[in-house]
Structure 1
Amino acid sequence: MPREKFTQIYATLKERIESGVYPVGQLLPSENTLIGEFACSRNTVRRAIAELVRDGYVQTSQGKGVCNIFQPIERSSYTMGTIESFRETARRTGQRTTTRVVRLEKCVAGVTVSLLTGFPVGTELFSLSRVHEMDGKPIILNHSYLRVDCMPDLTAEIAQGSLYRYLEEELGMVIVTSKRTITVEPVTPADEKWLDLGEYNCVAVVSNQVYNSQGVMFEFTQSRHVPSVFRFQDNAVRRSTGSGTRRMTVET
């Protein structure tokens, strides 16, 4: 099965769902209709549908078909299952954004930085701090450590734009996965200096270790969010377990 055909079907159906061509609660076209439209095998259509199920876009029902269960993500919400830059989030939600670089310098990971980030002691890093504003309000303070050998020519001008666009489109890096941790922490002097906290005395902190296709962790970023506009949204799918299946069989 050509991967190009599978990804084409998946991307097309996903775009139709997100744009409202297939309204929420309604069935997608039948397998036979999709097979005719895309000139492909039944297995190819089923694999594309299975990926949409996995990503929380649709739900299959025996004897009925495939139902659209997608709900558009709210403004200012971030997605849990994807690696999305601040600018990509803003573009998706239609909000006006600016980014300010408040620090960019080279350093070498010592024990403290190594324990925080996961980079080995002695790794040469860029230490980068940026303030993200949305609709004129400073709402996120990013502290990043970035491997110098993965982006040796990084400048403040580049960091002020889209860092991921630079890495992917200009350096050819393939960004694959991240390990994400979310905590709530007391504000720091830096938070008070750079963020519009209002009456809040805490921030929502998202820590990311990001890996490329070579298995190299090239980025550790700690994003410190103003709680009033912090929201993560996820699509979760419950998966059957072997023990659950066996238990059901016994009870039947």
Structure 2
Amino acid sequence: MPRQKFLQIYSQLKQRIESGEYPVGQLLPSENTLIGEFDCSRNTVRRAISELVRDGYVQTRQGWGVCNIFQPIEHSSYTMGMIESFRETARRTGQTSTTRVVAFEPCTADESIAAQTGFPVGEELFALQRIHDLDGVARILNISYLRRSCMPGLTREIAEGSLYRYLEEELGMSIITSKRTFTVELATPQDRQWLDLGEYNCLAVVANQVYNSEGVMFEYTQSRHYPGSFRFQDNAVRRPEES
């Protein structure tokens, strides 16, 4: 299943904005220009633009067009309103990245795993642990449980690449939404084994429950971040209180 057209347009426009092809403060090409370039409907272009608005890349100006308001994000910044793979984040922030799988095995959700992840007891899962290096330094420990019925052919080698690329491009999955919880936790012996925490005794922890277009939760991942480079960016919109 190919990616929806508006997502392809969104991705290309976002890349152009991030690369500086569309300078900050200037207008993007007109709707008619984009319709001609991408050979699509007006609604498709508008849906792609609405995604860029939601993510804080552009702002629509009545009677003028769509203005680029993107400002480059600092290294190791993550965005609240987007679901990105580790490699996508590293590419966006201009860093080199590598992933190492340190544990990969099938398992069945017991009561403890079910309570932590939200998967039902008895669900067949893959238990996956990965170390993410940024510019050659171990910065993130990812502890994941993945629903096996959604990716029965997953292997250790695939997990060392881009998991989301595999799911979207090879399996045709549409990844739709993620529920996130942010906490700060004391470092465990496992954290210290895999991450160089230096003087820090804690980590920033992001727990993700990720759902596909069928409303199925296919992933639970706990990302344990080195705190010295952990930043999350959010783009908020004020909605006036109804009187």
**Structure 1 counterpart of 2:222:** 222
State the Cα RMSD in Å: 2.7
Map of 1:197 onto structure 2: 197
Q: Report if aligned partners of 2:34, 2:45 keep a CA contact under 8 Å in 1.
A: no
Q: Which residue of 2 aligns with 1:148?
A: 148
2:165 equivalent to 1:165: yes
Q: Which residue number in structure 1 is paired with residue 32 of structure 2?
A: 35
Distance across 1 between alignment mates of 2:153 and 2:50: 42
Q: TM-score, normalised by structure 2?
A: 0.84
Match of 1:250 in 2: none
Deviations 1:147-178 (A, max 9, x none): 11112222211111111122222222221111
Instruction: Say which is worse superposed, 218-227 or 16-25, in terms of deviation.
Output: 16-25
Of stretches 12-21 and 197-206 in structure 1, the one that deviates more from structure 2 is 12-21
Q: Does 1:55 align with 2:55?
A: yes
Do the aligned residues in 2 keep the contact of 1:175 with 1:212 (CA within 8 Å)?
yes
1:73 alignment counterpart: 73
Cα deviations by residue, 1:175-214 (Å, 9 ceiling, x for unpaired): 1111111111110110011101000000000110011112
Post-superposition offset of 1:12: 5.9
How many residue pairs get aligned? The number is 237
Unmatched runs of 5 consecutive residues or more in structure 2:
none
The answer to whether the Cα contact below 8 Å between 2:114 and 2:120 also exists between their aligned partners in 1 is yes
Unaligned runs of 5+ in 1: 247-252
Letter in 2 for 1:150: C
- The residue type equivalent to 1:35 in the other structure is N
Query: Does the Cα contact within 8 Å between 2:35 and 2:42 map onto a contact in 1?
Result: no
Identity %: 72
TM-score for both structures, normalised by structure 1: 0.81
The structural deviation recorded for 1:41 is 8.7
Per the alignment, do residues 84 and 189 of structure 1 end up closer, same or farther by CA in structure 2, a change over 3 Å counting?
same
- Answer with 1 or 2: which has the greater Rg: 1
Task: Identify if the C-alpha distance between structure 1 residues 105 and 46 changes in structure 2 by more than 3 Å, giving closer, same or farther.
Answer: closer
**Distance between the aligned counterparts of 1:231 and 1:37, measured in 2?**
34
Matches within 5 A, 1:8-157: 13-28=13-28, 34-35=31-32, 38=35, 49-61=49-61, 66-157=66-157
Measured at CA, do residues 14 and 194 of structure 1 come closer, stay the same or move farther in structure 2, by a change above 3 Å? closer
